[in-house]
Amino acid sequence: MTIYRDRRKREFIAKLSISNYQLTINHYLLQTQFIYQHNSKMQIKELLNGFSEGKVAKVRGRLISFRPHGGSAFGHIKDSTGRIQIYGKVDKLSNFAEFLHLTLGDIIEVEGELFLTKTSEKTIFLSSFSILTKPQNPIPKEWYGIKDVELKHRKRYLDLLVNEEVKERFEKRSKIISCLRRLLDEKGFLEVETPMMHTIAQGAEAEPFLTHHNALDLSLCLRIAPELYLKKLIVGGLDRVYEIGKTFRNEGISTLHNPEFTILEAYLAYANYNDMMELSSWLISSVAKEVLSETKIIYDSNTIDLAPPWKKLSVFPAIEEAVKEEVKDLEDCARVCEKLNIKEIEDPFKTLVDRFVQPNLIQPTFLVDFPAQLSPLAKKRADDPNIAERFEIIIAGCEIGNAYSELSDPDEQLENFKRQGKVDYDFVSALSYGLPPTGGLGIGIDRLVMLLTNQTSIREVILFPLLKPNEEVRNVVIPK
């Protein structure tokens, strides 16, 4: 449903000779040609690359600037690959009058001879043009862009159209993800898809979104992590698996949290958390090298070098150093929180780490030696049963990833589940068939993209971040 803001515009459109129906037909024919005639597929970048004066070319794009002067007019059209100048002249273009009626945002097809203007700009001298789609609402001008953050998020299509750097940022996101895939594929990892609807929310400490399957009359929740299913695949002999996909946590929204976010989880059999340190630093530095052609990045005024090896930091000594108190275990954490007058917190350990340790870790750091009690799916260290073989990846003061040697003992897993108060017997059963020593890694893709695109809000790297419906949406959507 379109909201017509500009009444005059709407009336003007109504007077146009081309009906919407015809536009649709035109467009459909074009799509058909697109499929069957290979040479009609040309995009602007291709045209610019193969540019030679005198050649005749046909391209399609959106009109982003228009400068008529009487008997001629210049403009620019752009598609996803680039932009090119077009030039129409009254004696060359039979429908020149209609040409002069073009407005910014019109989606047109143009055909003509290529030439260079006197400033040597590559230009198409139009012999014909046609309107493929006539927008009913105006498109803001690129020069001014869209700055209103709410508008940028609600109408991302306008943000993408008008703000070039936004388009580039999301292209970069896409490259980062495809690069991660390629790197893992090359190492023999198999990409898999596991259920997003779970009967028990497991794999992380988070509130799930609840839903229901009607035919089975079954209560389900959206996954808060893919972890357990992926480990079942390791039991099943798929020794190297990974999944990149959405995960859902029914929690607050912040510059670091969106209720649905993208996670990469990778599991490697016959490996432990040390191997995962190697894998994760290699992955992240390789992605940076490939996408930014540099392992040194600038993030929020810090220069960060992602090249391995990364620093390792034991978490309890790090807390001690930060709060200048003796902190050896979880009781100490609770005591320190009390002493510092930090109240109403669920997890004193996490609070101290988040507040006092993490913010100071700008360069990539493996934060190691997490308490076993807070790591119910991780293997305990052989020399210290209170400590898990687990680490978090901290870069620019932000938790980017989490990994451990996977717990493979079904009895111990069952005990851990019971202590948490929710038991996934299905998973315990899977473990009872034998999980090889396995290293597991989770990386928050959105945060990684933030890091590599120098964005301080997660909403700037998610195309459509969750927003409360505003009046416009509520008025249109609610059917009751």
Site residues (vs RNA, CB under 7 A): 5-6, 8-9, 12, 65-72, 74, 76, 85, 89-91, 101, 103-104, 115, 117-119, 121, 123, 137-141, 143-151, 153, 252, 254-255, 342, 344-345, 355, 456-457, 459, 465, 467-471
Work out the angle between the directed axes of helices 164-186 and 445-453 (0-180°, nearest 10).
120
Q: In whole angstroms, how close is the CB of 23 to RNA at the nearest point?
A: 17
Shortest Å, Cβ 325 to RNA = 17
Whole-number minimum distance, CB 462 to RNA, in Å? 10
Nearest to 123 by CA among 194, 206, 67: 67
Nearer to RNA, 237 or 252 (CB): 252
Smallest distance from the beta carbon of 372 to RNA, in angstroms? 25
- In angstroms, the first-to-last Cα distance of the chain is 17
Residue 468 vs 480, nearer CB to RNA: 468
For 229-271, the three-class secondary structure string (H helix, E strand, C coil) is: HHHHHHHCCCCEEEEEEEEECCCCCECCECCEEEEEEEEEECC
Of 22 and 456, nearer to RNA (C-beta) is 456
- Residue 36 CB, shortest distance to RNA, in Å, is 34
What are phi and psi for residue 314, nearest 5 degrees? -80, 130
Quote the crossing angle between the two packed helices 315-323 and 330-339, to the nearest 10°.
20
Q: State which residue, 163 or 274, has the beta carbon closest to RNA.
A: 163
Contact criterion met (CB below 8 Å) for 378 and 388: yes
Q: What share of the chain is helix, strand, coil (3-state, %, to 5)?
A: 35, 30, 35
Taking the C-alpha atoms of residue 135 and residue 203, their distance in angstroms, rounded to an integer, is 47
Work out how close the CB of 223 gets to RNA at its nearest, in angstroms, rounded to a whole number: 22
Cis peptide before 68 (omega within 30 of 0): no
Q: Which is nearer to RNA, 142 or 415 (CB)?
A: 142
CB of 119 to RNA, least distance (A): 3
Torsion of CA 103, 108, 112, 115, to 10 degrees: 60
* Local structure of 296: helix, strand or coil: strand
Burial of 147 (0-12, 13-18, 19+ CB in 10 A): exposed
CB closer to RNA out of 114 and 435:
114
Q: Report how far residue 433's alpha carbon sits from residue 450's, in angstroms, rounded to the nearest whole number.
A: 40
Q: Which long-range contacts (CB under 8 A, 24 or more apart) does 349-352 make?
A: 349/374, 350/374, 352/319, 352/322, 352/323, 352/327
Instruction: Extract the tokens encoding 276.
Output: 């995962």
Closer residue to RNA in complex, CB, 22/470: 470
Nearest approach, Cβ of residue 1 and RNA (Å): 16
Least Å distance, CB 230 to RNA, is: 29
Q: What are 242's strand-pairing partners?
A: 191, 266
Which residue lies nearer to RNA by CB, 88 or 376?
Answer: 88
68 or 371: CB nearest RNA: 68
* Calpha distance 247→20 (Å, rounded): 40
Q: Cα–Cα distance between 374 and 417 in angstroms, integer?
A: 12
Tell me the closest approach of the beta carbon of residue 415 to RNA, in angstroms: 31
Nearer CB in complex with RNA: 198/459: 459
